Amino acid sequence: MTCRKDNGDWTRAQLETALCDWLDKKKPDGLTSALFLEHLKRGNCLLIIDGFDEVPPSRKYDGHIEYPRAALLSGLKKALPHWIETGNRILLTSRPYGLSPGERQGLGLAESELSSLTGDLQRLFVQRWFHAADREKGTMKAEGLLQQLDARPDLNEFRTNPMLLTALCVKYDEGSRLPKDIHDLYSAVINQVLHNRYLDRAHEVAKVRRRLGVIAWEMHSGDLAGKQRSVPDAEIHEEEIEGVLIDYARSKPHDEGGEDEAADKREDLLSRSGLLLPTENNQAEFYHLSFQDFLAAERFVRSGQSVENLVASHAGTSQWRQTLLFLFARLTSREDLDTALERFSVLGDYLDRDSMGQNPRPAILLGDCLEIAQARGEIGEWSRIYRQACYAALEVVENPGHREALFRALGAAGLDDRPGVGLDENDLPDIDWQEITPGEVVLDDDDSTFPVDSFYLARYPVTNAQFQAFIDDDKGYKNPEWWADLEVEPDKPLSSRWKEDNHPRETVSWYEAMAFCA
């Protein structure tokens, strides 16, 4: 729709005329402007105005400047009271920054804020998305994606976000699988978002992605501003963005054109990319911090700077962990595995007991990297080195969350060989029984004591690997013998939230536990 007349200040009639012009041009499902106006007059319409925050504040059209956002906002303010009084219903969606508190109040619409998707809503979202996209195979595709998501704890943040979950649905629909590598998945999602946003300028998607990369790297490093940030900034001022784009244009004059175009490119990124979004006080941020981490890593590789120096400088900072992990994943997909491991070998300098006691984060990063590397090939001596570091961490790392992260990576990489955690030589659960000596027990609410005979207790809870062996064995979970004295029949076991082999199995009913121990 164009807004040539009364720029920035529309009446209800002008807004209705603009909508009719669009209908006459597009004719969606055969809907005509005359039929639309008839239903609007009767009060039969549900008008969905989706993505108000994506309407550009200004744009050039036929040699003049027009202001679509102001025109639409003013037209809605004047039209909504009449439309609603007639009986029509309006649904307007926008990210929070898209409308100021005063503008929201001026529209007079009831507000409802979207929350993160819970597990049940995630399942419903995926099922309905595929039902709409593919009526014939939608159910099968939905179950396929949900199964892959259940096996990918690295995608938990994607699942709770409607836009990111939509991106996963689209990606899965392309080939009934998600890229296994986290770097490849993020790269595909970013390309998908940008291609959808720049359908009329598909040839510019690569350039837009590189511009986002230089902005992300500046937010991480502060190189251009001379700030030398120890941790990445989550926001950047719009003036800083323009400065970054000016500097980038100077370094790439053939690709980026003149410096005077930087302001227009900034507005284009903020209003159209869908990945870099304006916030309050002329600030901007990425749609999700992980996109900033990914694009910063991508830009760093293109810069040709020393990987070893970057790892040594930031491996101990938790806010850099995801960026360095993306960097390692990119190196493993672009170079041979040995070269990638060599570039990150400086992490081995932080595995002694004193270093881990002071800061275990480099060791945690190494574990995450080895998990990626193990999926791509042999990691050689790193298996022994990391395993020994984890065992030492039990004595020197005080934070239980840090110890959990170290052993989670150990299990994910299939390197946890402690007795009592996995399977024995016959592929049966290897339970490390510990004898508990007899003694007297005193209850908290009773002064009396009673004797307890000697008994045995497993050193570790039953792990995913051990319970999965019970499920997979033909004589295991489905064997009626183990359920004979119970009140239920064997059912489909629930999947575990945590997927690592060495993680305790937490989704087990009392009946399943009794059958396992029978």
Tens-level pLDDT at each residue, the chain (518 residues): 555 555 678 999 999 999 999 999 988 888 999 999 999 999 999 999 988 887 877 777 777 778 888 899 999 999 999 999 999 999 999 877 678 788 888 999 998 888 889 889 999 999 999 999 988 899 999 999 998 888 787 788 888 888 889 888 988 888 778 877 788 889 988 998 898 888 878 888 999 999 999 999 999 998 877 777 889 999 999 999 999 999 998 888 777 777 778 888 998 898 888 899 888 888 999 988 999 999 999 999 999 899 999 999 999 999 999 999 999 999 998 888 999 999 999 999 999 999 999 999 999 999 999 988 988 888 989 999 999 999 999 999 999 999 999 999 999 888 999 999 999 999 999 999 999 999 988 877 767 788 899 999 999 999 999 999 999 998 899 999 999 888 888 888 888 888 889 999 999 999 999 999 88
CA distance 86 to 445: 69
Give 479: exposed, middle or buried? Use CB within 10 Å, 0-12, 13-18, 19+: middle
Residues 173 and 78 both lie in one domain: no
Going by the DSSP 8-state scheme, the letter that residue 43 receives in this structure is T
Residues shown for the chain = 518
CB 251 within 8 A of CB 257: no
Q: Copy the structure tokens of residue 159.
A: 């699942």
- Is residue 424 domain-resident? no
DSSP 3-state helix, strand, coil percentages of the chain (rounded to 5)?
60, 10, 30
pTM of the model: 0.79
Q: Which residues contact 170 (CB under 8 A, 6 or more apart)?
A: 192
Residues 97 and 173 both lie in one domain: no
CA distance 171 to 153: 18
Residues 483 and 393 both lie in one domain: no
Q: Residue 66's pLDDT is what?
A: 80
- Is residue 80 domain-resident? yes
The residue out of 107, 137, 170 marking a domain boundary is: 107
- Is residue 148 domain-resident? yes
Q: Residue 3's pLDDT is what?
A: 54
CA distance 61 to 379: 57
Residues 281 and 313 both lie in one domain: no
Going by the DSSP 8-state scheme, the letter that residue 346 receives in this structure is G
Alpha carbon of 83 to those of 44, 46, 88: distances in Å? 10, 10, 5
- Is residue 376 domain-resident? yes
Residues 446 and 397 both lie in one domain: no
Residues 215 and 296 both lie in one domain: yes
CB 347 within 8 A of CB 311: yes
What's the farthest any 2 CA atoms get from each other in the chain? Answer: 93
- Is residue 350 domain-resident? yes
Give the position of tokens 């175009």.
261
- Is residue 428 domain-resident? no
The count of C-alpha atoms lying within 13 angstroms of the C-alpha of 25, restricted to the half-sphere facing its C-beta, is: 8
Q: What are the two backbone dihedrals, phi and then psi, of residue 95, each rounded to the nearest 5 degrees?
A: -70, 155
The residue out of 351, 382, 412 marking a domain boundary is: 412
- Is residue 187 domain-resident? no
Q: What are the two backbone dihedrals, phi and then psi, of residue 180, each rounded to the nearest 5 degrees?
A: -70, -35
Count of Cβ atoms closer than 10 Å to residue 56 Cβ: 14
Alpha carbon of 3 to those of 33, 70, 104, 235: distances in Å? 18, 10, 22, 32
Residues 225 and 280 both lie in one domain: yes
Q: Copy the structure tokens of residue 15.
A: 């807004």
Residues 509 and 457 both lie in one domain: yes
Residues 264 and 331 both lie in one domain: no
Q: Copy the structure tokens of residue 145.
A: 């994606």
Residues 363 and 455 both lie in one domain: no
CA distance 430 to 418: 10
CA distance 405 to 402: 5
Residues 445 and 493 both lie in one domain: yes
* Number of compact structural domains in the chain: 5
3 state SS of 73: helix
The residue out of 107, 141, 165 marking a domain boundary is: 107
CA distance 47 to 36: 10
CA proximity to 181, closest of 342, 300, 301, 294: 294
Going by the DSSP 8-state scheme, the letter that residue 403 receives in this structure is H
Domain of residue 480: give its range: 433-517
Cα 328 vs. chain centroid, distance in angstroms?
18
Spell 485-515 as b/e; 16+ CB within 10 A means b. eeeeebeebeebebbbbbbbbeebeebbeeb
Residues 316 and 335 both lie in one domain: yes
CA proximity to 56, closest of 103, 112, 5, 98: 98
- Is residue 219 domain-resident? yes
CA distance 453 to 455: 6
CB 375 within 8 A of CB 180: yes
Q: Residue 47's pLDDT is what?
A: 94
